[in-house]
Every structure is written in C-alpha cells, then in structure tokens.
Amino acid sequence: MAIWNLGSVNADMVYAMPHLPTAGETLAARSLDRFLGGKGANMSVAATRAGSEVHHIGAVGPDGAWAIERLRGYGVGTDHIAQVEVPTGHAIIAVEPEGENQIILFPGANRALSQVQVEEALSLAKSADILVLQNETSMQAEAARLGRQKGMRVCYAAAPFDADAVQAVLPYLDFLILNEVEAQQLQEATGKEPGALGIKDVIITLGAKGARHIEGDTGTVSDVPALPVTPVDTTGAGDTFTGYVLSGLDLGLTVAESIEQASRAGALMVTRRGTADVIPSLQEVQAARF
C-alpha cells in the first residue's frame, strides 16, 4: 500500500529568538537556519522515515528544484510535484528558547496546483492506499472527492485551521486530525462535536496532555498520554505525529498502536531544532528512552 500526500513544500527560515516578537517590536535573532519544510513535506518525510511508500503531490516554483531533490533524497516519490511559474512557498519561523513558535507563511506555488495534476496523480493510486491533505495547498476538496470516489482512506490534518476549508472536505473524510483549539473551533462552526461529524476516526492532539482518539461509529474515546520531554523547538512536531500515524495505519498497525508510535516520534521531534530534515527515523523512534 502507499500514502498519497497532497501537500505543501516550503523553504523554512528558522530564527532563534530571545522571545516571540510582539506588535511593533524590532528584535534581533540569535541565529538563522534553513530547512526543508511545509506541513505537507514534513508529513511525507515523516511517513517515509516510518517505513511507508509515499507519493507527494505538490508544486514548487522556478527556485524550488532543491526541494524536489531533497525530498527525493529522503525517499519520497516526487513524480507528481510540478514546477510552476509562482515562487516556491516559504515560512519565516521565530522560535523562542522554550520551543514555542510563530510562523509567517507565504503560500506561493502551493496554491498553484491544478485539477489536472491532481487527477493524473490519483489515477495511479489504489483503493487500498491512503490520501492525506492539509490546509496549505489548493485543490483540497477536489482531491478529497476523487480519493473518496476511488475508495481510498481519506485523511485531513486541519492545519493551519480554517473552518471553511475543513467543512469543504468533511463529506469525504475517513480520518481527521486536529488539535484541541481547532476541535473547539470546528465544533463552534458545525454545531457538532468532532466525534459526531460522521468521520470514522478523529484524533485530537492535546499538547503536553497527549492525544485522544474518538471512534466515530461507536463514540469510544481513548486517551494516549504524552511522553515527558523538554522541548527546544515544537515546529513540525504535529506533522511528524500525523505522518507517523498514517504510516502506522498504512503498515497495518491498529489506530492505538499508530498513535503510540507517533507520540514517541512527536516527542523526539520537539527535542530537535528544525523541520523535515531532522524528523526521526523509525529506528530512532523505537530506540528512544523517555
């Protein structure tokens, strides 16, 4: 089986800051590092490092050949990443010493995907495959509808959160991953609790409290506690968690086993500075002691 990821590809500029800047403040960074990023690319790399075959569907600009090369180097399938005339997406990420961040996103080429491109890519997908989407590209609802038509398991990571974007894909979803604040926002927008939206599996990440799995069919709720770590950079940890969860499902683990493994991967990730380039391998995740 394989994972098809309609996802963003960004250049991440990560600035180590003494604190997160407030409105009107000019603040010098302590250092600058550049990484491959984008919620989509991070998830593709995470799922690949967890052992899955991943095909990334995305777009970069004339300045983005390096990103395709790097993804390919990490083992991600890049045949369906288009090169378009719009510049590659990028993110300006401020990280404070305790690991919390603030992100300015330039979507760029990520919003220039075409329907034809998505149709061509998904024509090669099989019904047993997984399709994952996040809210950093164009063509989300179109891809979700196609995935559902093909009988794929359609998953959505509702980040960056936008209630309209989630509602546009809701009818096609088998799996939804979002955080506590996003779950509350979605409930306000739909008038329903996330577990009552008709989605088979919902995972709500609870930060330092861990993660909650809600089975849509039965309403069964299971909590997985967080692992004790001291964060230095939380950027990309959620994407790592999602990539590992999906890879677990792809490789035949139960949802509970997938969440448990993904929690370990996410915990390890917050102890590292950076995004796609530093996502831990399965071997590192299994060997980590918390």
Tell me how far the alpha carbon of residue 125 is from its chain's centroid. 20
Query: x/- binding map, residues 70-99, to ligand RIB, per CB under 6 A?
Result: ---------------------x--------
- Does residue 97 have a cis bond before it (omega within 30 degrees)? no
* Out of 39, 70, 153, 264, the residue judged to bind ligand RIB by CB under 6 A: 39
- List CB contacts of 97: < 8 A, sequence separation 6 or more: 16, 18, 232
Residues 196/173, Cβ–Cβ less than 8 Å: no
Which residue in 177, 119, 168, 167 sits closest to 147, CA to CA? 119
* Ranges assigned E (strand) in the chain: 3-6, 10-16, 31-37, 54-60, 77-83, 89-95, 101-106, 130-134, 153-157, 175-179, 201-205, 211-215, 221-224
Q: Is 274 in the site for ligand RIB (CB under 6 A)?
A: no
Q: Is 251 in the site for ligand RIB (CB under 6 A)?
A: no
| H helices, E strands: number in the chain | 9, 13
For the CB of residue 124, give the shortest distance to ligand RIB in the complex, in Å.
Answer: 26
Q: Is 280 in the site for ligand RIB (CB under 6 A)?
A: no
Q: Is 216 in the site for ligand RIB (CB under 6 A)?
A: no
Closest to ligand RIB by CB, 72 vs 106, is 106
Closest to ligand RIB by CB, 58 vs 77, is 58
* Out of 236, 266, 274, 280, the residue judged to bind ligand RIB by CB under 6 A: 236
Closest to ligand RIB by CB, 16 vs 196, is 16
* Out of 6, 43, 275, 277, the residue judged to bind ligand RIB by CB under 6 A: 275
Q: Is 7 in the site for ligand RIB (CB under 6 A)?
A: no
Range in contact with ligand RIB (rule: CB under 6 A) among 31-39, 47-55, 77-85, 261-269: 31-39
Task: Provide Rg for the chain, Cα atoms.
Answer: 18
Vertex 131 angle, CA 145 and 117, to 5°:
70
Residues 8/136, Cβ–Cβ less than 8 Å: yes
Q: Is 10 in the site for ligand RIB (CB under 6 A)?
A: yes
Q: Is 64 in the site for ligand RIB (CB under 6 A)?
A: no
For the CB of residue 101, give the shortest distance to ligand RIB in the complex, in Å.
Answer: 8
Q: Is 233 in the site for ligand RIB (CB under 6 A)?
A: no
- List CB contacts of 266: < 8 A, sequence separation 6 or more: 237, 238, 240, 241, 244
For the CB of residue 136, give the shortest distance to ligand RIB in the complex, in Å.
Answer: 6
Containing H/E element for 17? none
* Out of 7, 37, 274, 280, the residue judged to bind ligand RIB by CB under 6 A: 37
Q: Closest-CB residue for ligand RIB?
A: 37
Site for ligand RIB in 131-190 (CB under 6 A): 136
Put residue 214 in one of left, alpha, beta given phi > 0 → left and psi -120 to 50 → alpha.
beta
What's the DSSP call for residue 123? T
Q: Which residues bind ligand RIB (CB under 6 A)?
A: 8, 10, 12, 37-39, 42, 91, 103, 105, 136, 235-236, 239, 275
